[in-house]
Amino acid sequence: MKLGVALALVAASLVVAIQSCGGSDEPRLTYPQLQRQAGAICQRYRRGLAKLGAPTSLPRVAVVARGAYRLGAAERKALAKLRPPADGADAYSQLLERFEQADELLPKLWRAAERKDAGTAQALAGQGRALVATGNKDAAAVGLLDCRRT
């Protein structure tokens, strides 16, 4: 009887260990499913960004950067809930990481714009564009052309 209890405990421990190591009940999406769902999320981001208008002056840069920060956080949160195909998981994860890194520059950007520090604002915008360009390559690698940022 003691052996049976010990085996049951070992089996239960294995189940817990497997589930805690990334086992998920949520199935992975196919590429067409990922592209459709992520595309819809990214289109909402693009529409919101378009409503903010162009950053044509330092005061507008501050307004657009604040709005883009809010929109980017919502986009990444929604995208993070999707489970890409296994062979695209690394590129998808890198995409989210690059966009997060770019979005983390936005508070510095709007503060520089509010201080009328055009040099710092331009440097931060350049850093953000470089991160976005890398993220766009990751988006293309998993077929998420609608998720490329400009």
82-106 mean pLDDT = 97
Q: Residue type at 142?
A: V
* pLDDT number for residue 24: 58
Whole-angstrom distance, CA of residue 147 vs CA of residue 138: 10
Q: Which of 22-31, 107-116, 118-127 has the lowest mean pLDDT?
A: 22-31
> How many beta carbons lie within 10 A of that of residue 15, not counting itself?
11
Contact 72, 99 (CB under 8 A): yes
User: If you ran DSSP here, which 8-state letter would residue 142 be given?
Assistant: T
